Structure 1
Amino acid sequence: MKKYRCISTVSLLLLEVFAVAADRLPFPNAQSVNLWRLEKRQAELQALVNDEEQVVFKKPKFSEFPPQWFEQPLDHFSKDSPTFGQRYWVSKRHYKKGGPVIVLDGGETSGENRLLFLDTGIVDILAKATNGLGVILEHRYYGESIAVPDLSTDSLRWLNNDQSAADSANFMRNVKFEGIDENLSAEDTPWIYYGGSYAGARAAHMRVLYPDIVFGAIASSGVTHASLENWEYMDIIRAAAEPECSQHLVTSIAVIDGLLAVPRLRGAIKGLFGLAELEHDDDFAGVIESPLGSWQSKNWDPKLGSTKFDQFCEALAKPLGKLNATQSVSLAGGLDVPVTVWNYANYIKENYVSKCPEDATIEDCFGSYDDSKFQGTDLSLHWRLWLFQVCTEWGYFVTAPPDPEFPRIVSRQLTLETQSRICQQAYPPGKHFQVPALPNITAVNVLGDFAIAADRLAIIDGEVDPWRPDTPHSQNAEDRNDTILQPFKLIPNAVHHYDEYGLTDIRDEPLEIMQIHLEMIHFVKEWLKDWDTVLKERRQRSKSTC
């Protein structure tokens, strides 16, 4: 007889955390794919139970919101297209007749990872304030909204901005909600379209592309500016981190780059980090870049946020005996480095190199020059999805600053050439589609770029969000007035789409988060006062075109 037991809390959390992070790489490069594999393996090993045992999971979260399905054409621009089921979830807990629909774009992850926002986050907050219906709409190809047999180059050719926008428009025009008799089509009901990050850009794009059905939109950390070299991502972190930590990073990278340039010391510095066997310097630079991705994982809610970046900073500042982090230590191999570099090396060995299994070499784990490592096409390889979008239309390759004299916290080995190489490795030409040599970022920027604007389009960003340089709050964008009709808000000390998260009672939230939520409730309510006028104008235009 088989034995049953509940999976350990630690194992369940590891699987859960990996599932949330699995759809999107911390940085769009080959090294992130290597780390994705290692973390996936580690999560699976932690959750492993004996062959004679069977895992019994707890009751699923958010069972109040069962998944539903909407039929979509795989190709909206073909008369003869197969279809797929696009998954969505609905909250009717606050809905009253005449209320709006608040739809959240699931973006580049499984929609299941967005259900939190239907329960206590921004969808619930706005639905409660407006007697609205809450909806999470999963993005094509992500989660279970997929109709292709694999993730080959050809199979991914329908994963693009135009098709995704058409999905949302078709859904908004034609969905019928179970248990609700009245017509909630976006042509007859005010829909507020919300998105964060990539989905934030989509929210802004939907308001511009489909103004007759998207009554209002909120772009939170919306990356409406696509770029090839996203070096400013790291510069936001350098400027916003605690000054001591920032200086340790700048010092460390300058020393490391200097040693990599000396042939007789190149192997010694890589060896200090436990990566002596790693042949290519850009692979080494990619590994030591990895801890910086945890800045984006910060959150105002301690139950959801990560403290890994702070732990990394603490590690860099540790003394070595009587030596403080800024003093030098002489090591084997002719190395003479600041203690903070020694600390950096130990952190990388403990947190990254240690994940490389005993039966694999360092090159197996962290090398990126073997194309075959990146050419699997199984549907479980979720990393292929967002990376494909990066390689075709969005860009965002994280590189060192173009000015070599500019202070930096990543190695100058990280160039557009080394970081974008993964595109040609992972997506060889198919019979029907070929990934361009560089992403066609014009497809994004032509929709408005930094200047994207419309009535009832709110722009909300975080002051210290590393993605801020790609939003309308970039220093490269013109400043704007913050108005009810075109809100333009910057949340103090906030990182990535902080307004998307919320508590059951917003009065329990930190002041700056409660404030932004109250402001969002206010401007959405003000927008809704214009609905009757907008609907009348729509109907008049419709009659005039008949």
Structure 2
Amino acid sequence: MAIKPITPLLTLSLIFLLSLSAASASFRSSSKWVPRFLGKSSLLTKPQSMTQQQYQYETRYFDQPLDHFSFADLPTFHQRYLINDDHWVGPSQLGPIFLYCGNEGDIEWFADNTGFVWELAPRFGAMVIFPEHRYYGKSMPYGSGDEAYKNATTLSHLTAEQALADFAVLITDLKKNLSAEACPVVLFGGSYGGMLAAWMRLKYPHIAIGALASSAPVLQFEDIVPPETFYDIVSNSFRHESTSCFNTIKESWDELVSEGLKNDGLLQLTKTFHFCQKLENTDDLSNWLESAYSYLAMVNYPYPANFMMPLPGNPIKEVCQKIDDCPDGTSVLDRIFEGVSVYYNYTSDVDCFQLDDDPHGLDGWDWQACTEMVMPMSSSRDTSMFSAYDFNYTSFQEECWKEFRVKPRPKWITTEFGGHDFKTALKMFGSNIIFSNGLLDPWSGGSVLEDVSETIVALITEKGAHHLDLRAATAEDPDWLVEQRATEIKLIQGWLNDYYLEKKPFSDM
């Protein structure tokens, strides 16, 4: 059996164009891509591992304008959304509506991996809605993914602003049809969806009373956080488990390049890493490895999970044990293969691995990263286990022009949603946002890690990974995770209580 792995073009997600500076060229291959929030395979289709629906919902479609900010006669498209009102107490009791802000993938995947929202619904008498992000899953403008992704013109309406407007229009229309205009809306989101949840609360405070933004790197733009933050956190997770494991991975990049330069070196690497077809270059292998390490850090959950790949609990520990426990004399690259197989083949049902045939595919997040979602990243020489490289905006811009015929706007997100002096700005006009982060998650470095005010709070867990709090409760949940969710529930209950108190005088009239 061959497996086509989650591509290293990314975030868990699993994102961004990255180019080499001249100064770093000697330390890194010519790869231009770094982790995205999710694997590329999640962007257009549902993962094959999801064989049955975990939660009950009705699938509906809503006719959305292609451009919310134009009065031109443009076509509409069908936005898919999932809805469940089994526990909703209805408009007469001001039953709340829990809306998950769909991110860059099939909405059914997010619904099945966001058990926390489903578990809260009966407790609060809430309706649950999962709207799909435009240009992902089945919510394709122009009738199909092929047409929607055709060129820069057809992709031009794939923006965070348009997606937020989709959510706002959908929920407003739905509430009107249900005579539920007074019912409060609470937003949820993880990763990019968490960013959308926080931004929607700020942009549409009249529509939603609060937002839980989990693992939301809203500060990962321009120079707000150091560009090496992401890969330093990934590296620290491996170093924490085993210094020798960290050093083996750090040493492996030079070994990989050296082997690739030998006669029949690429053929030998193909055999070592069990690829189905011969490697064309070492860059593809580097990307494949980097992707696995980044995702492992994101989903370093304390119990077995199947979000990105079927993995054991504490998967980085498992990877490092495989690397370190090889017999004396085992080569560096053979050790690396043993370790990375935990990610790509934990179930041991894969005979060979199939590299992505199109590492520069025109998927939605690559477009978003080349237009407004510009998140600079680099890898430091000393603290990172990855090859050293620097973010070079000029090269990045050239790649985006080559790929899409567009020029990035690296300052647009901070202009539209803020970022610089974030705490002061939020104190002035923001409220009712929870920024939850686990410090094992490499995206936590770009999120809000300190309380901003009494109502904009940061919940930090030292051992948490990528939006772990949004996952369904399990018997294996550690006490700190149970306590984190209890705090989130208390805060959400407080938002609702305050809302009901404000509404009570009007209902008594």
> Into which bin does the TM-score normalised by the smaller protein fall?
0.7 to 0.9
Does structure 1 residue 457 correspond to structure 2 residue 433? yes
SS of equivalent residue, structure 2 residue 69: coil
The one-letter code sitting in structure 2 at the alignment partner of 1:161 is: A
- SS of residue paired to 1:396: coil
Letter in 2 for 1:388: W
Change (3 A) 1:354 1:288: farther
**Is the Cα–Cα contact under 8 Å of residues 84 and 127 in structure 2 kept in the other structure?**
yes
CA 1:249–1:341 in structure 2 vs 1: closer, same or farther (change >3 Å)? Answer: farther
1:347–1:461 CA distance, 2 compared to 1 (3 A): closer
Coordinate RMSD, CA, aligned = 4.4
Match of 2:201 in 1: 207
Structure 1: gaps spanning 5 or more residues: 1-9, 48-56, 324-328, 330-338, 358-364, 368-372, 378-383, 430-434, 474-478, 540-546
User: Do the aligned partners of residues 399 and 182 (structure 1) sit closer, same or farther apart at CA in structure 2, a change above 3 Å counting?
Assistant: same
Q: 2:482 aligns with which of 495, 501, 514?
A: 514
* SS of aligned partner of 1:487: strand
Per the TM alignment, residue 70 of structure 1 is displaced from its structure 2 partner at its CA by 1.6
Instruction: Indicate how the Cα distance of structure 1 residues 239 and 208 shifts in structure 2: closer, same or farther if over 3 A, else same.
Output: same
Instruction: Sort the Cα spacing of 1:243 and 1:524 in 2 relative to 1 into closer, same or farther, 3 A.
Output: closer
CA-to-partner distance for each residue in 1:92-142, whole Å, 9 max, x for gaps? 222113221111111111111122257xx1212332222111111111111
For the pair 1:487 / 2:457, whether they are aligned, the reply is yes
Deviation at 1:199, TM superposition (A): 0.8
Q: Check whether the contact 1:482–1:489 (CA below 8 A) recurs between aligned residues.
A: no
Mapping of residues 123-134 of structure 1, within 5 Å: 123-134=117-128
Structural mapping, 1:202-241, within 5 Å: 202-227=196-221, 230-241=227-238
Answer yes or no: is the 8 Å Cα contact 1:239–1:246 preserved in 2: no
Aligned to 1:169: 168
Find the partner of 2:68 among 57, 76, 79. 76
Give the 3-state SS of the residue equivalent to 1:223 in structure 2: coil
- 1:421 shift after superposition: 6.5
Q: Does 1:98 align with 2:90?
A: no
CA offsets per residue over residues 158-209 of structure 1, 9 Å max, x none? 00021111111111211158xxx85223xx2211011111011111111111
Which residue of structure 2 lines up, in the alignment, with residue 443 of structure 1?
413
Structure 2 alignment gaps of length 5 or more: 18-31, 273-277
* CA distance, structure 2, for counterparts of residue 154 and residue 212 of structure 1: 32
**Residue 304 of structure 2 is aligned to residue 299 of structure 1:** no
The answer for the alignment partner of 2:25 in structure 1 is none
Checking the alignment, whether the CA contact within 8 Å between 2:6 and 2:39 is kept in structure 1 is: no
Letter in 2 for 1:162: E
**2:298 touches 2:440 (CA, 8 Å); kept in 1?**
no
1:293-321 deviation line (CA, Å, top 9, x unaligned):
32213334424362354443223213434
For 1:140-539, list aligned pairs within 5 A.
140-148=134-142, 149-152=147-150, 153-176=152-175, 182-185=178-181, 188-227=182-221, 230-241=227-238, 243=240, 245-254=242-251, 256-257=253-254, 266-267=261-262, 271=266, 273-274=269-270, 282-283=283-284, 285-292=286-293, 293-304=295-306, 306-307=311-312, 309-321=316-328, 323=329, 339-344=331-336, 355=352, 373=358, 384-396=363-375, 398-401=377-380, 404=381, 406-412=382-388, 416=392, 423-427=400-404, 429=405, 435-436=406-407, 438-444=408-414, 446-449=416-419, 450-451=422-423, 453=426, 454-473=430-449, 479-480=450-451, 483=454, 485-503=455-473, 509-532=477-500, 534=502
Q: Structure 1 residue 154: deviation in Å? A: 1.8
| Structure 1 length-normalised TM | 0.70
Q: Check whether the contact 1:123–1:135 (CA below 8 A) recurs between aligned residues.
A: no
> Which one-letter code corresponds to 1:447 in the other structure?
F
CA contact (8 A) 1:249 1:409 kept: yes
Q: Does the Cα contact within 8 Å between 2:6 and 2:41 map onto a contact in 1?
A: no
Aligned-partner SS, 1:94: coil
AA partner of residue 68 (structure 1)? R
Find the aligned partners of 1:38 and 1:109 in 2 and give their Cα distance.
9
1:234, 1:301 → 2: CA distance?
Answer: 23
Shift of 1:242: 5.1
Q: Give the AA of the match of 1:315.
A: K
| The 10-residue stretch of structure 1 (138-147 or 299-308) with the greater mean CA deviation from structure 2 | 299-308
Distance 1:349 1:496 in 2: 21
Mark the CA change 1:143 to 1:279 in structure 2 (over 3 Å): closer, same or farther.
Answer: closer
CA distance in 2, matches of 1:86, 1:143: 10
Deviation per residue, 1:255-302 (Å, 9 max, x gap): 644895x8x995489656449986766555434323213221333442
1:235 CA drift (Å): 0.9
Question: 2:237·2:297 contact (CA, 8 Å) conserved in 1?
Answer: no
Does the aligned pair in 1 maintain the 2:298–2:465 contact within 8 Å? Answer: yes
Q: Secondary structure at the match of 1:460?
A: strand
Q: 1:98 to 1:250 in 2, by over 3 A?
A: same
Q: Equivalents in 1 of 2:451, 2:360: separation in Å?
A: 45
State the secondary structure of the residue aligned to 2:375: strand
CA–CA distance in 2 between the matches of 1:245 and 1:268?
Answer: 34
Q: Percent of aligned positions with the same letter in both sequences?
A: 22
Is the 1:24–1:108 contact (alpha carbons within 8 Å) kept by the matching residues of 2? no
Whichever residue aligns with residue 524 of structure 1, its letter is I
Question: What secondary structure is seen at the aligned counterpart in 2 of 1:299?
Answer: coil
Q: Greater Rg, structure 1 or structure 2?
A: 1
Change (3 A) 1:481 1:156: closer
Distance 1:487 1:37 in 2: 32
Q: Return the offset for 1:38.
A: 10
Contact 1:273 1:349 in 2 (8 A): no
Q: Is the 8 A contact 1:461 1:496 kept in 2?
A: yes
With 444-453 and 87-96 compared, the bigger mean Cα shift is at 444-453
The 1:414–1:36 alpha-carbon spacing in structure 2 relative to 1, beyond 3 Å, is farther
The 3-state SS of whatever aligns with 1:459 is strand
What do the CA deviations read for 1:338-387 (whole angstroms, capped 9, x no partner)?
x4454125666996998566xxxxxxx579xxxxx56776xxxxxx1112
